[in-house]
Structure 1
Amino acid sequence: MSGFHPLDILAIVGYLAVVLYLGKRASHQSTGSEEGYFLAGRKLGKAYQFFLNFGNATDANGAVSTASLVYQKGASGVWLSLQTLFMNPYYWFMNMWFRRVRLVTVADLFEDRFGTRALARFYAIFQVFATVIVIIGFGNLVAYKVTASLLVKPEVEWSDAERASVAGYQEMKRLQAESKAGTLVAPEQVSRLETLEDMNKRGELRSYVSYLDSTFGKWAYYIIYSAIVGAYIVMGGLAAAAVNEAFQGILIVVFSIMLIPGGLVAIGGWDQLAEKVPEANFQLLSAGGIGLWELIGIFLISIVQIHGIIGNMSVAGSAKDEFAARFGAVSGTYAKRVMIILWAFAGLIAIALFQGGTALSDPDSAWGTMALQLLKPGFLGLMMAGLLAANMSTIAAQTMAVSALFTRNVYKYLFPRTTEQGSVMAGRISIVVILAIGVIAAASMNDVYAVVQLLLTINVPFGAAVVLIFFWRKLTAAAVWWAVGLCSILNIIAPAWLPSVVPSLRESPALVKEVSHEGGPMRAVYFESVVRKDANDPASPRVGQGRLHIELLTLELVGVNVSSFSPSGRNAARFIYNAFLPFAVLILVSLVTRRPEQARTDQFFGKMKTPVGTTPELEIAAMEATTRDPHRFDHTKLFPKSSWEFTKWDKVDAIGFIACLCVSFGILAAFWIVLRMASA
């Protein structure tokens, strides 16, 4: 099987056996209650919280997408993942808030804060679909792409169509090299290059052929993969996921390290990085890659949307106390930041390995192609097991969160007399359905970079709402409805569906505009890309392809000349627009609509200021005291007479925040130094 040795198969089978065994073992520890199944009984200490956060944040998606983006954009491509390095000091506080709210799902938060089940149900339904289709489907897609790149079909087995596809890709790379060198002058060659580049944008060309390229191979892979994930979490719930995170975390570290030594040997040593990789690709901020403003935009949108993610409550809520939640959040995610740097170096090595005629048609296959070429028997199987571990751990945690949302906030509304055991059974059945829909969603996806950008924006409206739920008394349920509805239409639904509903938009001369920035290649302004309507007809009109950037159209209408921005600058404008729009809607609508019941609001913010008890008895006593006097911690407010509920820091807050800042900048400085060493 294309380089797979019996030792590789043995490593994969051994991994799967251990995963299923741990799931079965955890099923004996899981109780029949909702908290026992969905939150592991709120008993996870610092060690399990570390692995749960590390596994939930670290997945094969991150490894593959980071290596892919660095392969395409150079080291600056790492920022789509590494910008979260600056969020770690914020996590020191955020996970504490999700633990103090003392709920099971994020949907419960809307009901608890506003007393409205309708908003909680809407959040649950929206997030069930969004998470299953985008996040779980995306995880399946990345796992498939990596596995497909490992199962390469020998040339003697290619069909005529496959042979023509690979030949077309190789011809395109040769003509591009001639164009760059200035030797491509014949009009028919220029026309041929344009035709091939259009075919490549449509996904019609490829640099290799996989056994999994067929419809049967793709569906068989997705079904088997999802069945294994479902088996262990159906048995043991979040407890099984947490136990497996600990085991899988070790494999994640191993597979993140494996490619680098072999890759350096393959290119001729460490010093060959500087020889074979262009200097610009070592820059952390570059005009051709991700610039400073785009980084700021990515950071803003990320720190907003992170609040709306469904897994926050299950991860932080499963901690036995708030310090365990805080420690697990920052330590687990810092471990991921180190992994991101390793993945970035794998991407730089891929640039050195695959360039010119050997360049990859699908950058998302960089990781798998390197593994296939560099790893010896047994190690390739270990790599595959590690990738499965990384992806399964994240999909398991996300699936558990979706299952809890559906069971508590949709199913129990329809069947209010359901017992605790009935809820757990409904949760187990929903896991099977969730994974099945994730398979269907993955089969309709193709481009990792496009999905990564969607992931950055899909939770922003709810994320902004949760931020203000925690901090602003005047926020109203009506404002949340308006913000989520309006932003979802403008930023998510319309950009994807409007060009399909109104096909003439894709052919509008004003919208298919392309510009060149500082002598670079022509880039689409308002669409993801612009291609010929008929790839084989040089006279065919240009049409827009992919997402329509309504944010840029809006800015253009109010007088901002977005065409003059660099591609990175246009991305920055989109991200900053998406980050601030929901806050503007939330605040404006809240000021003109009726506030929630004051007694409910007092109880909510009293609870948010009450530290979680270190024992069940102390916890019960603390909450009883707060119920009697919800204002007993008002002296800790930073602005005592305002409607803003920010609190003064204590010693733990301050020391933890400063320590996180030091670690964040220390990791960034170390990465920069190593990049400088590599480029020299």
Structure 2
Amino acid sequence: MLGSLHPLDLVVVALYLIAVIWIGSRAAAGTNNEEGFFLAGRKLGKLYQFFLNFGNATEPQGAVSTASFVYQQGAPGSWLSFQTVFMNPYFWFMNVWFRRVRLTTVSDLFEDRYASKGLSLFYAVFQILVACVFLGFGNVTAYKIASSLVVKQEVQWTAAERTSVEGYREMKALEKQAAAGTLTAEMKPALDTLRDRNARGELRSYVTVLNDIAFYAVFTLVVGAYIVLGGMAAAAVNEGLQSVLIIVFSLLLIPTGLKAIGGWSALAEKVPKQMFDLFGSASAEQFSVVSLCGILLVSIVQNGGLSHNMGICGSAKDEFAARSGVSGTYLKRFMIILWAFAGLIAVALFGVGGLSDPDATWGAMSNRLLGPGLVGLMLAGVLAGTMSTLAAKALAISSLFVRNVYRQIWPDITQAQGVFYARCTIVAVLILGTVAATLMGSFYDIVNIVLTVNIPFGAAVLMTYWWRRVTAPAVWCCVIISTLTILVVPWTASKIPALAQSASLAQPSTKPGTGVYFSKVVHQDPNDLTSPYVAAQTRTNRFNFEVWLLGKAGVNVAALTPTQRFTLQFFVDGLLPFAVLIIASLLTKKTDPARVAQFYGKMKTPVGKTPELEIATMEETARNPARFDDTKLFGRNSSWEFCKWDRVDTIGFIICCAISASIVGIFIGFLRWAAP
């Protein structure tokens, strides 16, 4: 056996990996040109769109991070994922925008709308770097679960490992005394020292035998193999198999967990009552309704800039097929409910704060609850979900590189050469994702990156669809200013000694180990609790530049809770890019009116049901780009491109809203049923 893995588990995982590579080889026949490789020939119907959207949206990092956040905060911790339930009605329209634009990559959008090769190239390079974050997140998720399943026995621990685990256990024992009010004054310094060590990442509750580098290498090899072989067609077919496994791994921990804690009624006995309140408490360290609004805002904005939107929606054979993908994302919302209850079961199983690494909640539960074969099935499900997400992103990045970087330098390459270079790009990007995984920290920090990294271009893409007046210089201003404010300064500040050691910036907050501005602060001398606080030199320690700016504007940010500061950060991140875009557009020269007219004429032209109808309708739009301007919501002469809804728009939106409300109601109902 390998650690706690049984040979049967290894057989299950091996069979899954063989299956996905075989599917990739079978799909390779239709990938001789770029449209076939990147978009499956724009021939995917409703069923494939369902699988693509479900598989791409339902990544294991969502399951693992949701269970982790719920374990720490209770039901409100699920909002980082569950807020997407309110985005489904928006997707009913967004999917059509990315299909009607009739392009291959999001980079093409900037060249088509603004005639800006520079913006197109910058977006492509930016997204290649962003992809490393997403791919790294997927790798970390898979490793977190696998590593917690393959643990060292206590007799195999080294002296350093024993010190780490025993220090963690001692800290938890002292924290229980502190919570009960029985901690003596003499023991408080010992608790503070252990908390300081924990903030530095020195304490842990288990020791794994799984090497992270070896795991990332094998994982990347398998993902690369089936995507390099079959492209989007392989991704779409594999989504069917992977979607089934995702559902299975989402279900496995619920019945086994309930049995282990003593049944459904044990949740009310062993989980604190406030953890069942989905909308949180203003005084507690939980996400509130206001937090939800901030998270939802940045989710909608960043979603517009995702590089794989064009590949998934653009591969649909028609508009209704593209819209049908919404059904796949709805199934994910039910999965989130299961993941949240897994987190609550973990609270009952391990106790509040019983795990040194909350990110390992899912893996620790799997290790405790599942037997031979089921552990392998869990691992296969995790790998399936991660692979489905990585596949879509890797394909999107390869298309960006070939079409918007390589062809700008060598425009005369053949279609076959383009596919070859795309395959090489997939390999390179997956390797970079592996490197990124080794640099990542906690899920809380990673999710913060994932939710904000695409905001600069997300705002630009949405305004490109919505507002005729937006200009290329305004997009440049938006991207540069937003990137500096949201990404560059926050994630590099802790690495600058003058900032990391500044007494005014490294202020501690009320929550041990966290700061007012830096997400983690520790004592400069770990052996001297009177030494000044400094920013912890962990792999990811974000400086809340947005809150610092608000503090300079007069807001008393030190008096706020960490969650309130987190919420303020999201509102600034979500609104700043739009403010920059609007102001800069009004101060710069308009884009060529003829080009703009053709773009918005195309956006209002429905996709033809057949290739012949599509050609005919686009030729008519080219002759008369204003032929649909009477559908504009604010009049033909308005610069805002919002259109009046037709029957399909209205009925679809109402149904989506009703389903979203029903899912929220079901979640609340189950929480109230489980609550004391």
Q: TM-score, normalised by structure 1?
A: 0.97
State the AA in 2 paired with 1:324: A
The Cα of 1:14 is off from its aligned counterpart by 0.9
The Cα of 1:523 is off from its aligned counterpart by 4.8
Describe the SS at the equivalent of 1:543: strand
Deviation >3 Å, runs of 4+ = 520-523
Q: Deviations over 1:356-378 (max 9, x none)?
A: 6x811111111111111111211
Q: Does 1:617 align with 2:616?
A: no
State the AA in 1 paired with 2:669: I
Of residues 316, 334, 337 in structure 2, which corresponds to 1:338?
Answer: 334
Matches within 5 A, 1:96-111: 96-111=96-111
State the AA in 2 paired with 1:285: F
Partner of 1:676: 672
The Cα of 1:521 is off from its aligned counterpart by 6.0
Q: Deviations over 1:31-81 (max 9, x none)?
A: 311110000100000000000000000111111111011111111000000
2-structure distance, mates of 1:450, 1:399 = 23
Partner of 1:23: 24
State the AA in 2 paired with 1:39: L
Matches within 5 A, 1:581-660: 581-640=576-635, 641-660=637-656
State the AA in 1 paired with 2:547: L
State the AA in 2 paired with 1:401: A
1-structure distance, mates of 2:463, 2:4 = 54
1-structure distance, mates of 2:457, 2:74 = 33
The Cα of 1:300 is off from its aligned counterpart by 0.7
Partner of 1:58: 58
1-structure distance, mates of 2:350, 2:205 = 11
Q: Deviations over 1:142-188 (max 9, x none)?
A: 1111110010111111111111110000000001111111111233x
**8 Å contact from structure 2 (residues 51, 328) kept in 1:** yes
Partner of 2:191: 193
Describe the SS at the equivalent of 2:528: coil
Describe the SS at the equivalent of 2:212: helix
Q: Deviations over 1:284-303 (max 9, x none)?
A: 12232111111110011111
Q: CA RMSD in A?
A: 1.2
Percent sequence identity over aligned pairs: 55
Partner of 1:296: 293
**8 Å contact from structure 2 (residues 40, 233) kept in 1:** yes
The Cα of 1:316 is off from its aligned counterpart by 0.2
Partner of 2:349: 353
Indicate the larger mover: 94-103 or 195-204.
Answer: 195-204
Q: Deviations over 1:435-473 (max 9, x none)?
A: 111111101112111010111111111111111100111
Q: Does 1:81 align with 2:81?
A: yes
Matches within 5 A, 1:389-404: 389-404=384-399
Partner of 1:170: 169
Of residues 298, 301, 308 in structure 2, which corresponds to 1:311?
Answer: 308
State the AA in 2 paired with 1:62: G
State the AA in 1 paired with 2:162: R
Matches within 5 A, 1:207-222: 207-212=205-210, 217-222=211-216
2-structure distance, mates of 1:386, 1:458 = 27
**8 Å contact from structure 2 (residues 77, 286) kept in 1:** yes
Q: TM-score, normalised by structure 2?
A: 0.97
**8 Å contact from structure 1 (residues 238, 397) kept in 2:** yes
**8 Å contact from structure 2 (residues 513, 521) kept in 1:** no
Partner of 1:234: 228
Of residues 403, 410, 426 in structure 1, which corresponds to 2:405?
Answer: 410
Q: Does 1:461 align with 2:456?
A: yes
1-structure distance, mates of 2:610, 2:234 = 24
Partner of 1:569: 564
Describe the SS at the equivalent of 2:526: coil
State the AA in 2 paired with 1:159: T
The Cα of 1:570 is off from its aligned counterpart by 1.2
Describe the SS at the equivalent of 2:542: strand
Of residues 184, 204, 208 in structure 1, which corresponds to 2:202?
Answer: 204
**8 Å contact from structure 2 (residues 524, 534) kept in 1:** yes
**8 Å contact from structure 1 (residues 114, 476) kept in 2:** yes
Describe the SS at the equivalent of 1:524: coil
2-structure distance, mates of 1:485, 1:121 = 14
The Cα of 1:636 is off from its aligned counterpart by 0.7
**8 Å contact from structure 1 (residues 141, 446) kept in 2:** no
**8 Å contact from structure 2 (residues 493, 500) kept in 1:** no
The Cα of 1:510 is off from its aligned counterpart by 1.7
**8 Å contact from structure 1 (residues 298, 572) kept in 2:** yes
Q: For this pair of structures, how many residues does the alignment match? A: 667
Q: Deviations over 1:84-114 (max 9, x none)?
A: 1000000000000000000000000000000
